């Protein structure tokens, strides 16, 4: 048994604990045993990426002078040096993975992967190609230190001639996991594709190191490549570190990819449940804007032609998020269309029937709704609301909210009934229906959000007031200048604008 000082033994125990916590115990096995001191301190190190061979060796490993006996090494000095290097590597991996796990979108994660990988392999530029092997997408290319035009230039090179292309297309089996591809001297390769040589010379890179984004659990998601300005390649230690980081990044990307696909599917279902196009009714122009939240809410709108040239307009919101809310929204909208055809001239009766249906079929769910029966030729509107936000009239001479009677949402009372309201918009005025998601997305208290909505409607340019789509877009941009964003609690936003001629 070696006689190791107590301090060294404590360091060994702490290091082993850190290895177990990080889950990279294979870092020990992947490192070769320490050789003799003179072999470690060779004066001429080979040139590798990110390591300067001109930096002098540490004093305790310096080559002894000729004729002078070497000083004896302190007990455990080599073990301490090696453990210090391993602890430093583990600390670096921990910091980089912590930064990666805080990313919430595929683009952010790919940019973080490129940046962290560049520091690990000692490169300055790189690009990531996301192409899941299952073919379900999404497919994207992200650059690091490369302009959009540079990415386009690289994509003109045949994939079979690039290092990342060998990973993406080199194996016919989509389940197989390829290894990294290092090209230490691109311009020195006699068999390099002429087009690749031309692109490399134009962009100024001379070497590359490509890493697959693939694990047994996640499958093959794509590849990432880092580019060097001069002929170089990462050392074995750097390859091992970036390999560990790449496997962790692949698992994180797989989780984000699953979330992104779920969001796209929910958004697609929500759009399919809404009108594919708005009807054309003489005397009125229609425009709608619908933005689905990340989790998929139950906000909806509808516009349907009714007998004798009438028009039914409706907006509403179902409680909850996700597929169940979307299904409930589809059922509620379909039921309202049926009631509107049968007794649309009486909005109170339409909402009363809807209240009864919701209470009998889905007693645990509530909803808000507003239905308006319009006669465009007479510019007459009769509307009723159930717990819904009041419409807004926008015109050259007035911009005001419609005073509707107060009512609880559907499903909240044993029997719902509230009086309807009649209004006659002037020629050229626009009636704006919307859901409360527009107000809640601002993050302001509800009274302040209403004030912001009124101010946004007042500020609609006069030239845009002849187009209901321009009115809706202006209100949306003014209320949410930073866009809708992708916050997890983001609600749906619906606007339905009707301009009467």
Domains and CATH numbers, the chain: 103-267 (3.30.450.40), 276-500 (3.60.40.10)
Cα(380)–Cα(317) distance, rounded to whole angstroms? 25
Q: Which residues share a beta bridge with 370?
A: 315, 385
How far from each other are the two terminal CA atoms of the chain, in whole angstroms? 97
pLDDT of residue 262: 84
In contact, 107 and 140? CB cutoff 8 Å: yes
Cα(61)–Cα(71) distance, rounded to whole angstroms? 10
Cα(201)–Cα(195) distance, rounded to whole angstroms? 10
Provide the token pair at 349: 């009766």
Q: What are the φ/ψ torsions at residue 32 (nearest 5 degrees)?
A: -75, 155
pLDDT of residue 292: 77
pLDDT of residue 81: 75
Helix-strand-coil split of the chain, %, nearest 5: 40, 20, 40
Q: What are the φ/ψ torsions at residue 212 (nearest 5 degrees)?
A: -75, 145
Write down the pTM of the prediction: 0.65
Which burial class, exposed, middle or buried, applies to 202 when counting CB atoms under 10 A from its CB (0-12, 13-18, 19+)?
A: exposed
What is the residue-level pLDDT of the chain in tens, covering all 501 positions? Answer: 334 444 333 343 444 444 444 444 343 334 433 333 333 333 333 344 444 444 344 444 445 555 556 556 566 777 777 778 788 888 989 999 999 999 989 999 999 999 999 999 999 999 999 999 888 889 999 999 999 999 999 999 998 889 888 888 765 455 567 789 999 998 888 888 999 999 999 999 999 999 999 988 888 899 999 999 999 999 999 999 999 999 999 999 999 999 888 888 877 877 788 888 899 999 999 999 988 776 667 899 999 999 999 999 999 999 887 778 888 888 999 999 999 999 989 999 999 999 888 888 888 888 999 999 999 999 999 999 998 999 999 999 999 999 887 788 888 766 666 789 999 999 999 999 999 999 988 889 999 999 999 999 999 999 999 999 999 999 999 999 877 655 445 678 999 999 998
Order across the sheet with 207-215: list the strands: 140-144, 125-130, 219-228, 207-215, 181-183
């Amino acid at each position: 048994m070696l006689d190791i000082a107590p301090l060294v033994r404590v360091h060994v125990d702490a290091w082993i604990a850190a290895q177990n916590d990080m889950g990279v115990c294979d870092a020990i096995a992947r490192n070769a045993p320490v050789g003799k001191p003179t072999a470690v301190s060779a004066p001429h190190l080979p040139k590798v990426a990110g390591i300067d061979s001109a930096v002098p060796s540490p004093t305790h490993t310096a080559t002894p002078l000729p004729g002078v006996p070497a000083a004896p090494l302190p007990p455990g000095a080599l073990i301490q040096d090696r453990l210090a290097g391993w602890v430093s590597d583990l600390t670096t991996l921990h910091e980089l993975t912590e930064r990666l796990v805080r990313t919430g979108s595929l683009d952010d994660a790919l940019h973080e992967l490129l940046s962290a990988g560049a520091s690990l392999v000692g490169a300055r530029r790189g690009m990531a190609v996301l192409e899941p092997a299952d073919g379900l997408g999404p497919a994207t290319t992200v650059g690091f230190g490369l302009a959009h035009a540079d990415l386009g230039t690289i994509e003109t090179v045949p994939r079979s001639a690039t290092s990342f292309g060998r990973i993406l297309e080199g194996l016919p089996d989509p389940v197989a996991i390829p290894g990294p591809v290092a090209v230490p001297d691109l311009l020195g390769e006699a068999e390099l594709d002429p087009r690749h040589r031309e692109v490399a010379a134009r962009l100024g890179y001379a070497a590359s190191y490509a890493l697959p984004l693939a694990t047994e659990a996640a499958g093959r998601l794509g590849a990432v490549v880092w580019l060097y300005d001069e002929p170089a390649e990462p050392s074995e230690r750097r390859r091992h570190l970036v390999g560990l980081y790449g496997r962790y990044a692949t698992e994180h990307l797989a989780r984000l990819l699953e979330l992104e696909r779920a969001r796209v599917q929910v958004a697609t279902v929500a759009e399919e449940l809404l009108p594919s196009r708005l009807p054309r009714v003489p005397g009125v122009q229609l425009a709608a804007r619908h933005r689905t939240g990340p989790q998929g809410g139950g906000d909806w709108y509808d516009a349907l032609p009714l007998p004798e040239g009438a028009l039914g307009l409706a907006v509403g919101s179902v409680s909850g998020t996700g597929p169940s809310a979307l299904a409930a929204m589809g059922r509620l909208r379909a039921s309202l269309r049926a009631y509107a055809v049968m007794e649309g001239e009486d909005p109170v009766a339409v909402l009363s029937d809807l209240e009864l249906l919701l209470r009998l079929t889905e007693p645990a769910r509530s909803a808000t709704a507003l239905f308006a029966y319009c006669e465009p030729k007479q510019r007459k509107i009769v509307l009723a609301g159930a717990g819904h936000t009041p419409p807004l009239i926008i015109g050259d001479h007035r911009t005001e909210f419609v005073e509707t009677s107060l009512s609880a949402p559907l499903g909240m009372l044993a029997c719902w009934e509230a009086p309807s309201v009649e209004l006659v918009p002037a020629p050229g005025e626009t009636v704006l229906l919307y859901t409360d998601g527009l107000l809640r997305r601002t993050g302001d208290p509800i009274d302040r959000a209403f004030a912001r909505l009124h101010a946004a409607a007042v500020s609609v340019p006069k030239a845009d007031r002849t187009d209901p789509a321009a009115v809706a877009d202006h209100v949306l941009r003014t209320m949410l200048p930073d866009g809708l964003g992708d916050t997890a609690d983001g609600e749906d936003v619906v606007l339905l604008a009707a301009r009467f001629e």
